[in-house]
Structure 1
Amino acid sequence: MCVAPVLAGCEGALSSLDPAGPAAQSIAGVWWVMMAGSLVILALMMGLILFPFWKRHQPREVPETLWLWGGGLGFPLVVLAALLAWGLPSGQSMLAGRETPVYTVEAEAYQWGWNFRYPGEDGVTPEVLHIPAGEPVDVAITSLDVIHAFWVPRLAGKVDAIPGTTNTLRILAPEPGIYEGMCAEFCGLEHATMRFRVVAHASDEYESALDAALAGQEQP
């Protein structure tokens, strides 16, 4: 059962727990680790609560400093440090690297839609981003008005689109297909309808598909 489908997604085209790209897989891995860790901590806390009832005929005094330094400071530091060490590589996987430049497209957000531009090409493709499958693509994201957010749950995490600033997100679609995206930052009355698609084409078909889309001949 899905408790918060809008925030995390449990199934379907906007599922962050059904990853396709490597960045999304890394993020989903962090989610599962956090889920497992929270269950372990919950079991530990429940054990501490029940322990006095099992040993009610054998009272034992526990120093206050143990609860203060161990439970109040030491335990959270260990848990948070471990989570930070696990989570940082996941965030790093979404950033553009410093290696040989990869194919870069531009995502331009506005109330309430998206335009996508391509290197060396005139025109834009509204609401649909075309990319080659199996290749890393850097998406240079900006906004024309207010703050929006570019989010394709099955490919990567969300990155804000900020007026006057360009943030770059790296995505990779391993196979040809359609990946649903949306604005993940409340931006006004029509925020909920601010959706887009990422269409990944086979490498040998990408150029012709992009040319057709830019010429307004894209197939539904």
Structure 2
Amino acid sequence: MRTGRLRWRFLQSDLSLFRIRLRQVSPLAVRLAPAAITPLVLLGCAAPLSTLDPAGPSASSIAALWWVMFWGALALFALVIALLAVSLLRPSALASIKPGTWIVGGGLVLPVPILVALLVAALLLGEQLLPKPGGAAPVRIDAHASQWQWRFSYPFIPDAASTSILHLPAGEPVDVVVTAEDVIHSFWVPRLGGKIDAIPGHTNIIRLQADKPGVYRGICAEYCGEGHETMGFEVRAHAPADYAATIGGQP
């Protein structure tokens, strides 16, 4: 019993010291901390492989979902930190609250609305990633992965193919039919859409669309051996009027 009391006293003294140190933190430092951290967090948002710099409808939905999840998680984090701060700085304010109230209020009433909102947002934005029926059939391109390169063929133009460069018509949906010849790879163009596995003996389809002409980077997102880091490719989106002529001139 005596040992337990001593441990409790030491814990109380540690908490008291922590409260004192928290009070000594400059309010200005607290206000400036987010301003100092935010640029570091956002440094990579406009990088060539950033999903937060979308250039197509699917990528825009993914980026929007990321931000919704980020702000939802931030709200829950702020709630937990606020409760922790109150418990440390004003313990008397929470001493009268019963444990059952904490469980119901802190574990259900407060987080559940945020989690439900995140679920609804995920369902709505995720549904936008699915191909919609009707309309003109999208352009089809076959993507073949092998150690360690990508080869693309264009069935609508006989014998047209390209290695490590994928040509798309800008502003139009394209179905990329992905497969592999040796091991499992993964096809990913972060600024245009999600990623999908390339599996030997099996085909997967992903729909991409580039809003405007430009050059985008793609990678293999599944470790596939010693040359994995070299298995990148370019996506070149062309004006629709120039697309067929460009593909026809490929080796």
Q: Is the Cα contact below 8 Å between 2:160 and 2:247 reproduced in 1?
A: no
What are the superposed Cα offsets for residues 160-200 of structure 1, whole Å, 9 maximum, x if unpaired? 11222221111111111111100111111111111011111
Aligned residues: 211
How do 1:146-185 residues align onto structure 2 when only pairs under 5 Å count?
A: 146-185=183-222
Q: Is the Cα contact below 8 Å between 2:160 and 2:248 reproduced in 1?
A: no
Q: Return 5+ residue gaps in structure 2 as ranges.
A: 1-38
Matched, 1:201 2:222: no
Q: Is the Cα contact below 8 Å between 2:76 and 2:111 reproduced in 1?
A: no
Query: Given the alignment, which residue of 38, 41, 48 partners 2:83?
Result: 48
1:190 maps to 227
Q: Normalising by structure 1, report the TM-score.
A: 0.84
How do 1:132-151 residues align onto structure 2 when only pairs under 5 Å count?
A: 132-151=169-188
Larger-Rg structure: 2
1:99 maps to 134
How much does 1:115 deviate?
1.0
Backbone CA RMSD of aligned residues: 2.4
Query: Given the alignment, which residue of 80, 86, 111 partners 2:121?
Result: 86
How much does 1:54 deviate?
4.4
**Structure in which a larger fraction of residues adopt helix:** 2
**1:91 and 1:119, CA in 2 relative to 1: closer, same or farther beyond 3 A?**
farther
- Aligned mates of 1:113, 1:105 — CA distance in 2: 16
Equivalent residue of 2:95, what SS? coil
Report % sequence identity: 45
- Aligned mates of 2:190, 2:145 — CA distance in 1: 17
Matched, 1:32 2:33: no
Q: Normalising by structure 2, report the TM-score.
A: 0.75
How much does 1:159 deviate?
1.3
Q: Return 5+ residue gaps in structure 1 as ranges.
A: none
2:95 maps to 60
Query: Given the alignment, which residue of 114, 127, 146 partners 2:164?
Result: 127
**1:103 and 1:32, CA in 2 relative to 1: closer, same or farther beyond 3 A?**
same
- Aligned mates of 2:107, 2:152 — CA distance in 1: 49
- Aligned mates of 1:196, 1:78 — CA distance in 2: 43
